[in-house]
Amino acid sequence: MATEFHRGVTPSAAGDPGRGLGGPAAVEVRGLSRSFGDRRVIDNLDLTIRPGEFVALLGASGCGKSTLLRILGDLDPDFEGEVTLPRKRAIAFQAPRLMPWKRVWHNVVLGLPGRPDRARAGRALAEVGIGHRADVWPKVLSGGEAQRAALARALVREPDLLLLDEPFAALDALTRIKAQGLVAELWERHGCAVLLVTHDVEEAILLADRVLVMKDGVIAHEHAVDLPRPRDVADPRVARARGVLLDWLGVRHGAEA
C-alpha cells in the first residue's frame, strides 16, 4: 500500500490566513483513503485547516471521524494519500487515559523529554483550573477534573494542532458546558489550530469557526459559523445553523440550506 505522510510543516502564527486565503495551512490533507478489510471508511478525502482555526467535525457513528483524527494524530499509519501536519501536535480523547499509578502532575508531563518537570505541570494544571489537584492520584478526580487534566497534558506540549476526540461526551450536562467554555478560552489564549470530533451539533456551532459534516468517507458539507463569541444557544442564528446541520446529518428535514 502506497503511503505518503509529510511531516515537518510548521504553521505560521495564529491569525494568519490559511491556504484558501492566500497563506499557509496548518493541516493539508489530499486524497486520503483508509480501509479496514473490504470496507473503505475514508474515501479520497480532502481537508484544509488554517493556522489558529477551530474546526468541528460531525457525522454519524462509523463515518470515519475518529479514524481521520487518529491519522492526523499519527496513531494510524496505514492509509493512502498525502497528509501535511505541524510537528507539534497533541490529542485528547473521550476517556482521559490517566495512568492510575502516577500523580496527576506526573501524568501531565508523561512522555515529555527530560526529567519530569513538576513546575511545568503545575502551570498547565493551574491554567485549566485544577492546580490544587496536582499531587493527588487520578482515582480521586471527578470526571470533569480528569478531563481537565487530560487537556493540561495536551496543552503542556504547546501544540500547533490540538485534536479533540469527543472529549466531553462522558460528562454530565453542567460539567460539559463548563468544559466547553474552558476549551474556548484555552483556544483563544494559545492560538493553535483545533479539530474537534463531536456528535453534539450545538457544541460544534458554539465552539467552531467552521463545522464539517462527514458522510460516506468524505467531507459532505462545510458550514462557516460567522457569529461573534461568546455564542448563545438561544440565538436564532444558532438555531438556524443547527437546523441546516441536522438536515445534512439526516436527523431533520425542512431547514433552509
The CATH number that applies at residue 233 is 3.40.50.300
**pLDDT computed for residue 252 by the predictor:** 64
- What digits encode the pLDDT tens for the residues 35-90? 999 999 999 999 999 999 999 999 998 889 999 999 999 999 999 999 999 999 99
In a domain, 9, yes or no: no
In a domain, 61, yes or no: yes
* Nearest alpha-carbon partner for 94 in 20, 169, 146: 169
34 has a pLDDT exceeding 80: yes
**pLDDT computed for residue 245 by the predictor:** 96
In a domain, 29, yes or no: no
CA angle, 212 then 87 then 188, to 5°: 55
Give the structural domain span for 192: 50-77+87-248
In a domain, 44, yes or no: no
In a domain, 231, yes or no: yes
**pTM (global) more than 0.85:** yes
The answer to whether 31 and 82 are in contact (CB under 8 A) is yes
In a domain, 255, yes or no: no
Number of structural domains the chain divides into: 1
In a domain, 45, yes or no: no
Report the C-alpha dihedral over residues 24, 112, 80, 218, rounded to 10 degrees: -60
**pLDDT computed for residue 104 by the predictor:** 97
In a domain, 185, yes or no: yes
Cell of 127: 491554567
- What digits encode the pLDDT tens for the residues 42-56? 999 999 999 999 999
